[in-house]
Every structure is written in structure tokens, then in C-alpha cells.
Structure 1
Amino acid sequence: MSTAKGYIFAELEVTDQAYFNAEYAPRVAPVLQKYGAKFLIAGGEPDVREGDRNVKRIVFLEFKSAARAREFYESKDYQDVIGYRFESALTHLYILEGAVHGDASVR
């Protein structure tokens, strides 16, 4: 069994800040708490040094495992609120498994 943490990394462009803050954020907060998500980054204006991405905001969440991150994303609880994000933001979202003991080998 892997001891690696799991992560959700999202690049967002919030297109309707008022709707995002009023409708999505308060609904997603208890679901994140239920699945043990920890915000590592929730901020705007990333300093993009390479590539041609125009990233407006980054959200980086930590979970006890990648499986738990998937459970969160696929849960009925989250699927019931995800539409509010779709209505108010453009997103690239990734589920990632962390390195174990700093190992950077390619699997």
C-alpha cells in the first residue's frame, strides 16, 4: 500500500466571481472538509516562467492519498456542486499521486 499523499491541482479562470463566491464556494467547503482536503495553495496571479499558459488562479489540495482525492471528486456530494463551478469558472484539473520519500523516478 502506497504512503504517498494525493493531490488535486487546478488552474482556474473565474468568469463570474460573485456567483463563484456565493454559490460554489460555500457548497464545496463542507465536501472538502468531509474528505479531509487541505488547501496548500489557493491564490491568484501565478508567476508563469515557462510555457504559454495564462494561468489566473491556482488551487492545490492535499488528501491522504490519490485514491481519497478520486473519492472526493467522484463522490455524489461533489458531483452535486460541481455544476456551480462549471457555471462560474474555466478549469484544468488534475488528480496526482505524490512522490514517496522524495523519489522522483519515472514509473
Structure 2
Amino acid sequence: MLKGYWVAHVDVKDQAAFEEYKAAAAKPFARYGARFLVRAGQYDVREGSLHPRTVVIEFPTFADALACYDDPDHLAAKAIRDPIASGDLVIVEGYNDQRDG
């Protein structure tokens, strides 16, 4: 099975409240085996425009990535995040370049 990823570009308007979201989201992330590959940090936009915070989260499977987003605990955490952050999020299936035969 291929891994799943959340790729988000976010603008956080209230960092203290965002910390509450992160604490609330920790439980569903742990439940679905989430692993943060990118969590903000230094960046250099070369094309287009993005929100200032980039996050990439890896899940064991694409199904886990979808299920985590729809989990009631994540939706409760998202309700904390929605008023204090805006952005874009895509859930995408990983890639395996191994070929049969």
C-alpha cells in the first residue's frame, strides 16, 4: 500500500490559539500513525505564492490520511483552528516507482 500525505500551506493569525489546535490534534495524529516531515521552518518560494507556514504529514496509508482528517477528534481540533488560521490542504497518495517485471 502507498503512503498518504497531508500537504498544507497555512497562515496562522493567533499563535497561542494555534498551540491549542496542535495539542488537540495530537491524539488523532498519533492514532493514525502520522509523522511530520515538514512543520513550518525556513522556506524560499521560487514560483507562485504560498501561505507562510508549510506542513507535510506522512501517514502509513492513503486510507489512514483520509480517516484521520474525518476522525471526530480531528474535526474538533479543526474547529479550534478554523477561526485563527487559513490556508490550503491536500491529501495525496504517495508514489512508488517500482515496476512489475
**Please, which of 23, 30, 33 is the counterpart of residue 33 of structure 1?**
30
Q: Secondary structure at the match of 1:36?
A: coil
Could you state the TM-score of these two structures normalised by the residue count of structure 1? 0.85
Structure 2: 5+ residue runs without aligned partners? none
Shift of 1:100: 1.4
- Percent sequence identity over aligned pairs: 37
Shift of 1:97: 0.4
Paired with 2:87 and 2:60, the residues of 1 have a C-alpha distance of 23
Shift of 1:24: 0.7
One-letter amino acid of the structure 2 residue matched with residue 59 of structure 1: V
Match of 1:17 in 2: 15
Pair 1:57-2:50 in alignment:
no
Could you state the TM-score of these two structures normalised by the residue count of structure 2? 0.89
Q: Secondary structure at the match of 2:83?
A: helix
**Please, which of 5, 8, 13 is the counterpart of residue 7 of structure 1?**
5
Match of 2:97 in 1: 101
**Please, which of 39, 43, 46 is the counterpart of residue 43 of structure 2?**
46
Show CA shifts across 1:7-65 (max 9, x none).
000001101111111x21111112111110000000144211011x1430111000011
4+ residue runs of structure 1 moved beyond 4 angstroms?
A: none
Computed over aligned residues only, the root mean square deviation of the Cα atoms, in angstroms, reads: 1.5
